[in-house]
Structure 1
């Protein structure tokens, strides 16, 4: 890969590529900043346009759009408490709490800088070690994926801001919602109540929008919403005041988040969502101030934002080397590669090494552009704070309805958004955290599918779940996470 950098640079550093990267960066920032419009949707909208492009510009357009949209989803999360993606939902309460504290510039400054650094780290790993790292991901079977998914699900124990019992009950609500739809093995409908719109399960994006946006809108209309000081970011360069010193103090967090994000991203089917959730949970577990998480912690933001974009780069390792999509975005990229004659697989690194190196180089450029273009997007979007919330609420509701409808072009998305929004409002009014519920919806099917598949493979046996070294290591980590709360409770009881 390194030997072909000269040829790759000749393909990337042209006026044509510069125009495509700039246009797609702007498009990605716009789509990511609108509640309900995801990075996957943005890249899917570009596919018809790529028909008329050469291979490298076509993939570069999708890569740049996705990188910008993933970061831009943090903007509505901070300003409106509406996450653009599931990854942003992991740390949405911290972003929004910093906004309420009058530190919106600091919150988004940490987000844009950590996202860029994490993305650059993932891009360098992708450029230098893609084929070797992909071999690691091939060692993962359904047994390893089950324990990995269970490890992510166990993060709910650390994500809840309230009591452990409330967090677990919130997680169970999410798992119940994830069970709606067709059974993963038998294909039998579950809890659909005869509605064909629920056969594919509860649409995740409408659920995400509803559970975070609707409670805020209800509080706005009823006058219960917290008053956010009227402010703007002001001078864009002031966003970085103190961020450099913070990142230096939290350099271990930055490195840990980047590594976790890249490793999780490399695993097929995991993606940036799980990377951000696990990184945030690990950060809270090892923090000296875990009580600050969910209330405006800057430490957790560094970990999760770095993991967010690092996982996006890591997902391209199995996609390029074996044609296995790491997430929904790389599935789109694989289709474009086949369409352009760049069939993913080990041979593509020999037959089209210059083009693959050029695509990886675009990753690096896209993540470098996150800082200047992200600053511009933050400065423009922060003017939203100057608008009174009651005037802004109908517009936000309109965006939520459009975003929920556009997922499947069905009114059922709007119904899901409203119903789960009311559920989330009741939960929050009774001090139940919403984050574990979202995590349950995200990872419920992943746990069930791999668990059932593993049971079929082992003919109902339990021993094969821990026979393989990686599976045994992940199982041990899950056991430790489950044991810690019990040991703390026993210790407290013995003291009494």
Structure 2
């Protein structure tokens, strides 16, 4: 009890509270800009943490990342351009609300359930961190391979088009992910003599191109329409309590999916959002409504992305193993400030640890008023002439891509993937499936190769290890389930 009181007094200082508010506003702004991800927002804060106290330094990382994950929904909803990779999972669903004239409903859902998901993840972090960490430690390269395959199968679920086209787009994404020398043999693949491609395709640049530049190209080819008349958004949170009661099961499932995936090293909020949205569609009683502006998928995916953020701190605090790129940066700051991650952190620096819990809670609470302010401010976007918006998006895309890699070649990558994204969308291929293959391809390949090296080429450990066997069964079942269901329906029709 003494440590809890001491930690609350530490957080309640003027320095820490100012850092939380300013970092939250900064993260909210960065997350809105396509190409400037939550990871980049936290990375840019590292030089500032040198001048802050230990708790204030970590508070800046926690606050900025939580806000950036949510605010990525804003451009995705209004402009069909996700601000962060996690927002790409349900961007089509959110943008459908805007096309229907209800953008405030989608943005309110993202804000409300992101905040609740973050609070839920914080509670789980406090109560069952050691248990979740022990589960995470059971995962080796064999389990991560099956987890990656299971995630790839989400491509057929998040797509609203024909499954065969979603599968083709997924394979194309996997093919693009193999470009470069990021393989065990160190052999250049599909580089065509270009040294810039030796390091592979930068995922952030590719995502900016596929979503942002492709949207600019669609706007250029579509007939021009007058700007919408300026209207004040209606009640942003007015429907959220009703949605909470209606979809409480989906909210809880999204929270649990987020925490569990977040606790797995290397997974993070991006994967949690994709899996949660696909799970929601798979178990929904009305899957045909997904993609048309249906709140069910938004509730579950929004609940997952911020709860995954808290879950990612479980292996980071207990074992110093980063749950995602954000916590990898945070671990460096922890060491720099003398808060060495590990079991001793819970005994020797218990007060500082409890301070981090308070920061998580406060950050997710102030997300609501700050998010409302940001949403109200961005409502003007809908009344701005389209050419103005698209030229600004194009400029931000180029600047964002260059800022990530400090290379002009990234701008070429953005342009090329803009054309690819435009072509995929025009001919009915799933852009979401392509992105999923591009993002998860390296994870699947790396863990497959690592596993085969460890086993000397023997594939039996993929099926004999207990956790791996369970994931293998789930993956194979998910792969065969659609075909078996079609055969079952056909058999019933013939019987009748």
2:63/2:360 contact within 8 Å kept: yes
SS of residue in 1 equivalent to 2:44 = helix
CA distance in 2: counterparts of 1:180 and 1:10, whole angstroms: 51
2:227/2:385 contact within 8 Å kept: no
2:182/2:199 contact within 8 Å kept: no
Matched, 1:447 2:444: yes
Distance 1:248 1:181, change over 3 A: same
- 1:215 aligned partner: 214
1:32/1:73 contact within 8 Å kept: yes
SS of residue in 2 equivalent to 1:403 = helix
- 2:386 aligned partner: 389
Aligned ranges 1:297-316 → 2 under 5 Å: 297-316=294-313
Deviation at 1:214, TM superposition (A): 2.0
1:208/1:438 contact within 8 Å kept: yes
- 1:257 aligned partner: 254
Deviation at 1:491, TM superposition (A): 3.8
CA distance in 1: counterparts of 2:23 and 2:66, whole angstroms: 10
SS of residue in 2 equivalent to 1:279 = helix
- 1:52 aligned partner: 51
Deviation at 1:3, TM superposition (A): 6.4
Deviation at 1:131, TM superposition (A): 2.5
RMSD: 1.5
Gaps of 5+ in 2: none
CA offsets 1:46-78 (integer angstroms, 9 cap, x no match) = 111110111100000111011011111111111
CA distance in 2: counterparts of 1:291 and 1:180, whole angstroms: 36
SS of residue in 2 equivalent to 1:17 = helix
Deviation at 1:104, TM superposition (A): 0.4
1:154/1:481 contact within 8 Å kept: yes
- 2:151 aligned partner: 152
SS of residue in 1 equivalent to 2:293 = coil
Deviation at 1:361, TM superposition (A): 1.5
CA offsets 1:19-61 (integer angstroms, 9 cap, x no match) = 1111111111111111111111111111111101111000001
Aligned counterpart for 1:432 among listed residues 420, 429, 434: 429
SS of residue in 2 equivalent to 1:325 = coil
1:234/1:379 contact within 8 Å kept: yes
1:232/1:379 contact within 8 Å kept: no
- 1:16 aligned partner: 15
CA distance in 2: counterparts of 1:213 and 1:344, whole angstroms: 38
Matched, 1:73 2:55: no
1:147/1:475 contact within 8 Å kept: yes
CA distance in 2: counterparts of 1:6 and 1:65, whole angstroms: 25
Aligned counterpart for 1:352 among listed residues 345, 349, 353: 349
SS of residue in 1 equivalent to 2:105 = helix
CA distance in 1: counterparts of 2:226 and 2:438, whole angstroms: 31
Aligned counterpart for 2:278 among listed residues 276, 281, 301: 281
Deviation at 1:227, TM superposition (A): 7.8
TM-score normalised by length of structure 2: 0.97
Deviation at 1:177, TM superposition (A): 0.9
Aligned ranges 1:189-338 → 2 under 5 Å: 189-224=188-223, 229-234=228-233, 238-338=235-335
Deviation at 1:457, TM superposition (A): 1.8
- 2:361 aligned partner: 364
CA distance in 2: counterparts of 1:227 and 1:179, whole angstroms: 43
CA distance in 1: counterparts of 2:483 and 2:167, whole angstroms: 14
1:131/1:346 contact within 8 Å kept: no
CA distance in 2: counterparts of 1:172 and 1:228, whole angstroms: 39
Deviation at 1:133, TM superposition (A): 1.9
- 2:408 aligned partner: 411
Gaps of 5+ in 1: none
2:37/2:85 contact within 8 Å kept: no
CA distance in 2: counterparts of 1:103 and 1:48, whole angstroms: 41
Deviation at 1:223, TM superposition (A): 2.5
- 1:128 aligned partner: 127
SS of residue in 2 equivalent to 1:432 = coil
Matched, 1:143 2:146: no
CA distance in 2: counterparts of 1:311 and 1:251, whole angstroms: 18
SS of residue in 2 equivalent to 1:278 = helix
CA distance in 1: counterparts of 2:112 and 2:302, whole angstroms: 9
Matched, 1:117 2:116: yes
Deviation at 1:206, TM superposition (A): 1.2
Runs of 4+ in 1 over 6 A off after TM superposition: 225-228
Deviation at 1:226, TM superposition (A): 8.1
- 2:472 aligned partner: 475
TM-score normalised by length of structure 1: 0.97
Say which is worse superposed, 485-494 or 377-386, in terms of deviation. Answer: 485-494
Deviation at 1:342, TM superposition (A): 1.0
CA distance in 2: counterparts of 1:481 and 1:27, whole angstroms: 41
